[in-house]
């Protein structure tokens, strides 16, 4: 089982709709969860991080964490063409303070 799994996409969403990106992880002891956005040819940039079960909102972005089911999701409300990018999920491993594991990312395409 891969440590961090994401659907590679592309996920196509109409402008103005809600984009839902999902990520599952294998290490039940993981404690820190991050979402990065990466535009083509650019470096990853942090969008959200979440540590506790439930929802965390920041502007149009909401991160959702369910540790029992081992998944973390990112919702983007009122999707804009500028949200078109690859979204990387990253998770720390239990007892490993020094590094995180990245998923391969989901390509999101917002349709104008």
Partner 1 sequence: NAGVTQTPKFRILKIGQSMTLQCAQDMNHNYMYWYRQDPGMGLKLIYYSVGAGITDKGEVPNGYNVSRSTTEDFPLRLELAAPSQTSVYFCASSYSGVGARGQPQHFGDGTRLSIL
Distance from C-alpha of 70 to C-alpha of 81, rounded to nearest angstrom = 30
Collapsing DSSP states into helix, strand and coil, what is residue 83?
helix
Residue 81: what are its φ and ψ, rounded to 5°? Answer: -55, -30
Q: Nearer Cβ to partner 1, position 18 or 104? A: 104
Residue range at the interface with partner 1 (CB under 8 A); choices 17-25, 67-75, 77-85, 97-105: 97-105
Three-state DSSP class for 49? strand
Instruction: Tell me which stretch binds partner 1 (CB under 8 A): 19-27, 58-66, 67-75, 85-93.
Output: 85-93
With CB under 8 A as the contact rule, the residue among 25, 73, 83, 103 that binds partner 1 is 103
Decide: is 61 part of the binding site for partner 1 (CB under 8 A). no
Note whether 77 binds partner 1 by CB under 8 A: no
With tokens 């984009």, the residue in question is 19
CA 107 vs CA 11, 31, 52, 86: distances in Å: 6, 25, 26, 4
Q: Rule CB under 8 A: which residues touch partner 1?
A: 8, 31-32, 34, 42-46, 49, 51, 88, 90, 92, 95-100, 102-105
């Amino acid at each position: 089982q891969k440590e961090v799994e994401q659907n590679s996409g592309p996920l196509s969403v109409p402008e103005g709709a809600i984009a839902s990106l999902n990520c599952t992880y294998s290490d039940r002891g993981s404690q820190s969860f991050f979402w990065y956005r990466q535009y083509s040819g650019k470096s990853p940039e942090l969008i959200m991080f979440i540590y506790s079960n439930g929802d965390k909102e920041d502007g149009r972005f909401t991160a959702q964490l369910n540790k029992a089911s081992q998944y973390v999701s990112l919702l983007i409300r009122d999707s804009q063409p500028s949200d078109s990018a690859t979204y990387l999920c990253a998770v720390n491993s239990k007892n490993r303070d020094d590094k995180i594991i990245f998923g391969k990312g989901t390509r999101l395409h917002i349709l104008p």
